[in-house]
Amino acid sequence: MSLMGQMMQMPLLISSLLTHAARHSGDTEIVSKRVEGDVHRTNWAQLAVRARKVAQALARLGCQPGDRVGTLAWNGYRHLELYYGTSGSQLVCHTINPRLFPEQIAWIVGDADDKVLCFEINFLPLVEKLLPHLGRVQHFVLMAGRSHMPASSPIPNLLCYEELVEAENGDYVWPQFDENTASSICYTSGTTGNPKGAVYSHRSSLLHAFGAALPDAMGCSARDVILPVVPMFHVNAWGLPYATALVGCKVVFPGPHLDGKSLFELFENEKVTFSAGVPTVWLGLLTYVKQNNLKFSSFKRTVIGGSACPPAMIRTLEDDYGVEVIHAWGMTEMSPLGTLSKLKSKHESLDEDSKRRILEKQGKVIYGVDMEIVDDDNKPLPWDGKASGNLVVRGHWVIDRYYRNDRSPLVEVAGLDGQWFPTGDVAAIDEDAYMQITDRSKDVIKSGGEWISSIELENIAMAHPAVHEAAVIACPHPKWDERPLLVVVKKPGGELTREQMLGFFEGRIAKWQIPDDVVFVDELPHTATGKLQKLKLREQFRGHQLPA
Ligand code: ADP
């Protein structure tokens, strides 16, 4: 007979994070730049009270355990109150990406079957427009005070968030329930077909928060001031709403104000030490600081992920601004953290260039996630840093299946235990277990039976001083099947010809991998989460004639 452990049984519930932060870091600030334009200050203790009032208010509206509550909101304290008020009271927080096409938003709200929809004032016109398609939503809540309520609206019985909160007394005890209960839903951006829902549990979210806070992950501490640029509607802002409560640090929310100037001012005024976001937001911030000859006084580290961070961006942030870049990889289906790039102690003695080459990779997994690369028959490939194949993962915070879809997405891997989630990414893993993404399987360029990494070509182009942004897509080719086409946005005032750009690749990559052509454009299309939209770009250049 085995001996059972004799420790307390406490379910891993999201509400416990907030209770912890309120009890032990109650006076630590939460600062939000609001949609309304002003800066709002609260702290973990006050936020916990208001989150309990939100739970009471939602119960008063008739919400039952398991009901979904949709949010259309920027990063801010009210959104955080909803995160905790919903999940904490056994409701499911459904964060919706407002940058999706309106039809997709309506589809997602319907698929999730949101009972309540909470949204900020700038999304009022959107919700009014979508109203005919939101038939199953029972309550609409405008996340604002009475003075911002519209005099009239086609939305029947539009509720005022502040009034709902103020009507409650906060005398509420977070219920205890099974830690495997759903806490939130996030939809993938659905670059092909309809978006798919990933349903997180309390347990997966808590374990992910522990993992995220570790020193070799985001390394969050009570001494940090954390500004999540990554939106709370994008995979729970990479877990920061939970990890910040777990460590009890100060949090700064930028609201919708994500331009370089607003971000810089907020970083400086609030003494931000740590941030996280996709590469495109840092492009804007870096352009602003450079143009104005500014330096950061408190900003020390940032996680960059969501799409490949160009090495040139890492260099600029580290060498010119003293900001450590932690390159990270993950996806909606993984809550999202998979790998982060931090050195091992055996790397400490390497020269700077060798260290950097390691840190430019997407990194090593944190405990809780395992990964493997496999060939098309799901047989593992060697970890030699050269062989690249389909990346599969498994772990405590990786989805088992998609919402409302009984077909398992998982695969078996020859010789390994369990079932694995195929990420759709192509990667290599080196001898030290560092993973490097070569491409998304649908973006890789197949030239004469060989694969060319679009990311590698983009990284080279981005290192040219006159290049602001670059994308590489496959162009059909009569002989080679596909050949790379480089699409470039020049920096303001940047001088660059097609020949100069192509010449820049010489000696930096094998000759046969150099793009066949370069096109200059004013702007590249981005997805709702700020990533390059290759599908759209491929459509845009469908008829493009490569030079003979
Ligand atoms: P969506 O699929 O909705 O765009 P995700 O945010 O889930 O949203 O995107 C996950 C994908 O983003 C990954 O599968 C990978 O292709 C890409 N990605 C994320 N981080 C990185 C990174 N650091 N380098 C390269 N690609 C990345």
Close Cβ partners of 156 (under 8 Å, ≥ 6 residues apart)? none
In this predicted structure, what is the pLDDT of residue 535? Answer: 85
Collapsed DSSP state (helix, strand, coil) of residue 204: helix
**Which residues is 228 bridged to in the sheet?**
276
User: What's residue 100's pLDDT?
Assistant: 85
CA of 136 to the centre of ligand 1 (A): 32
Ligand 1 binding pocket includes 423 (Cβ within 6 Å): yes
Query: Buried b / exposed e across 100-116, counting CB within 10 Å, b at 16+?
Result: beeebbbbbbebbebbb
CA distance 84 to 50: 10
241 Cα: distance to centroid of ligand 1 (angstroms): 20
Ligand 1 pocket, residue 104 CB under 6 Å: no
- What residues act catalytically? 188, 333, 446, 451
Q: Is the peptide bond before 336 cis (omega within 30 degrees of 0)?
A: yes
Atom of ligand 1 nearest to the CA of 336: 7
Structure tokens belonging to residue 118: 């909470």
Rounded to the nearest 10°, the torsion over CA 280, 207, 111, 393 is: 70
Residue closest via CA to ligand 1's atom 10 equals 331
Q: Is 25 in the pocket of ligand 1 (CB under 6 A)?
A: no
Show the tokens assigned to 201: 């549990």
Query: What end-to-end distance do the CA atoms of the chain give, in Å?
Result: 75
CA distance linking residue 442 with residue 452, whole number of Å: 12
Regarding the beta carbon of 310 and ligand 1, being less than 6 Å apart is answered no
Q: Where are the domains of the chain?
A: 14-255, 311-440, 445-540
Model confidence, pTM: 0.92
Which pLDDT belongs to residue 192? 56
**Does the beta carbon of 183 lie inside 6 Å of ligand 1?**
no
Q: How far is CA 13 from CA 170, 209, 236, in A?
A: 19, 12, 16
User: Which ligand 1 atom is nearest residue 440's CA?
Assistant: 16
CA-to-CA distance for 242 and 230, rounded, in angstroms?
A: 14
User: What is the whole-number distance in angstroms between the Cα of residue 278 and the centre of ligand 1?
Assistant: 10
Measured CA to CA, the distance from residue 54 to residue 172 in angstroms comes to: 10
Helix (H, G, I), strand (E, B) or coil at 315: helix
List phi, psi (to 5°) of 70.
-85, 145
Phi, psi of 414 (to 5 degrees): -55, 125
Residue ranges of the alpha helices (H) in 426-472? 454-462
> With contact defined as beta carbons under 8 Å apart, do 140 and 121 qualify?
no
- Residue 325 CA, distance from chain mean position: 16
Say whether domain 14-255 belongs to CATH 3.40.50.12780.
yes
Q: How far is ligand 1, taken at its centre, from the CA of residue 307, in Å? A: 5
- Going by C-alpha positions, the residue among 364, 367, 359, 407 that lies closest to residue 383 is 364
What count of other Cβ atoms lies within 10 Å of the Cβ of residue 238?
A: 26
User: In the CATH scheme, what is the code of domain 445-540?
Assistant: 3.30.300.30
Asked whether 184 and 84 are in contact (CB, 8 A), the reply is no
The best mutation among 393, 397, 531 to test binding of ligand 1, ranked by most ligand atoms within 8 Å of the C-beta, falls on 531
Report which DSSP code applies to 333: G
Burial class (CB in 10 A: 0-12, 13-18, 19+), 152: exposed
Residue nearest to atom 27 of ligand 1 (CA): 307
Query: Left, alpha or beta for 187 (phi > 0: left; psi -120 to 50: alpha)?
Result: beta
Would you state the pLDDT for residue 150?
97
CATH assignment, 311-440 = 2.30.38.10
- Each residue's pLDDT, cut to its tens digit, for the chain (548 residues) gives 899 999 999 999 999 999 999 999 999 999 999 998 899 999 999 999 999 999 999 999 999 999 999 999 999 999 999 999 999 999 999 999 998 889 889 999 999 999 999 999 999 999 999 999 999 999 999 999 999 999 999 999 999 999 999 999 999 999 999 999 999 999 987 555 678 999 999 999 999 999 999 999 999 999 999 999 999 999 999 999 999 999 999 999 999 999 999 999 999 999 999 999 999 889 889 999 999 999 999 999 999 999 899 999 999 999 999 999 999 999 999 999 999 999 999 999 999 999 999 999 999 999 999 999 999 999 999 999 999 999 999 999 999 999 999 899 999 999 999 999 999 999 999 999 999 999 888 888 988 878 899 999 999 999 999 999 999 999 988 888 899 999 999 998 889 999 999 999 999 988 999 999 999 999 999 988 888 888 899 999 988 998 87
Taking the CA of residue 305 as reference, the ligand 1 atom at the shortest distance is: 23
Q: What is the pLDDT of residue 519?
A: 95
Task: Return the residue whose CA atom lies nearest to atom 16 of ligand 1.
Answer: 440
Which class for 452: exposed (0-12), middle (13-18), buried (19 or more C-beta within 10 A)? Answer: buried
Whole-angstrom distance, CA of residue 444 vs CA of residue 483: 10
Atom of ligand 1 nearest to the CA of 195: 3
Helix axes 454-462, 498-505, angle to 10 degrees: 110
Place of tokens 């007979």: 1
pLDDT of residue 152: 95
Binding site membership of 362 for ligand 1 (Cβ less than 6 Å): yes
Q: Which atom of ligand 1 is found nearest the CA of 187? A: 3
Residue 78 near ligand 1, beta carbon < 6 Å: no
What pLDDT shows up at residue 193?
Answer: 66
Nearest to 365 by CA among 318, 388, 398, 412: 398
Beta strands in 242-320, from DSSP E residues, in sequence order:
250-253, 274-277, 301-305
Cβ of residue 308 lying under 6 Å from some atom of ligand 1: yes
Cβ neighbours of residue 273 closer than 8 Å, sequence gap 6 or more: 223, 224, 225, 226, 298, 299, 300, 301
Ligand 1 nearest atom to the CA of residue 308, by list position: 24
What residues does 474 pair with on adjacent strands? 484
Q: How far is the CA of 331 from the centre of ligand 1 (A)?
A: 5
Quote the CA–CA distance of 201 and 180 in Å, as a whole number.
Answer: 5
Pocket mutation for ligand 1, best pick of 234, 331, 438, 442 (most atoms within 8 Å of C-beta)? 331
Predicted pLDDT of residue 191: 55
Phi and psi based region of residue 506 (left: phi greater than 0; alpha: psi -120 to 50; beta: remaining): beta
Contacts of 426 (CB under 8 A, 6+ apart): 388, 389, 390, 391, 437, 438, 439, 440, 441, 444, 451
Cα 329 to ligand 1 centre (Å): 7
Tell me the CB-side half-sphere exposure of residue 92, using CA atoms within 13 A: 23
For residue 162, how far is its CA from the centre of ligand 1 (angstroms)?
36
Q: Quick one: tokens of 67?
A: 């009901």
CA of 30 to the centre of ligand 1 (A): 29
